Amino acid sequence: MSQENCIFCKIAAGEIPSKKVHEDDEFVAFHDINPAAPVHVLVIPRKHIETLSSCTEADAPLLGRMLSLTARLAGELGVAYTGGDTGFRTVINTGPGGGQEVYHIHAHILAGERPWRRMG
Ligand code: 5GP
Ligand code: ZN
């Protein structure tokens, strides 16, 4: 899908409404419209990158910051791993074989009481 028709580019630009939990110069995070778990947040770069398979070594700093942001947001959402039964899942679906539906790279943060809906 091209950048012009990309739902997540439109969400990042504020052209499509979303329940945002974080916004900065480089990333936006918002609640998934169809949550598979009690906490289900998507973290996206503002830059339109289609998939993890489109990434090169040049994207490594962005990917590193994206992953560290997911950890920080998990803390702010109250689902960080702090011992015992706590913690969250981070998922990046890649291509049809990985169950990707939106072709703008995103990390899912999933957490909370089971059961969770199966993804993909
Ligand atoms: P994927 O399967 O590509 O890894 O995940 C795409 C996710 O985006 C799905 O969990 C889906 O529910 C979510 N999603 C799709 N369209 C929208 C939307 O317009 N708004 C929000 N907030 N989430 C969306
Ligand atoms: Zn996009």
Q: Would the pTM count as exceeding 0.95?
A: yes
* Residue 9 CA to ligand 1 centre (angstroms): 12
Nearest residue (by CA) to ligand 1, atom 12, is 34
pLDDT score, position 2? 67
Q: Which residue segments constitute the domains of the chain, with CATH numbers given? A: 3-111 (3.30.428.10)
The catalytic site residues sit at 106
* Residues with C-beta less than 6 Å from any ligand 1 atom: 7, 16, 18, 30, 32-34, 42, 93, 99-102
Q: What is the pLDDT along the chain (120 residues), one digit of tens a residue?
A: 668 899 999 999 999 999 999 999 999 999 999 999 999 999 999 999 999 999 999 999 999 999 999 999 999 999 999 999 999 999 999 999 999 999 999 999 999 999 999 987
- Cα-Cα-Cα-Cα dihedral sign, residues 25, 10, 49, 112: positive
What are the DSSP calls for 67-110, one per residue?
Answer: HHHHHHHHHHTT-S--STT---EEE---TGGGT--SSS--EEEE
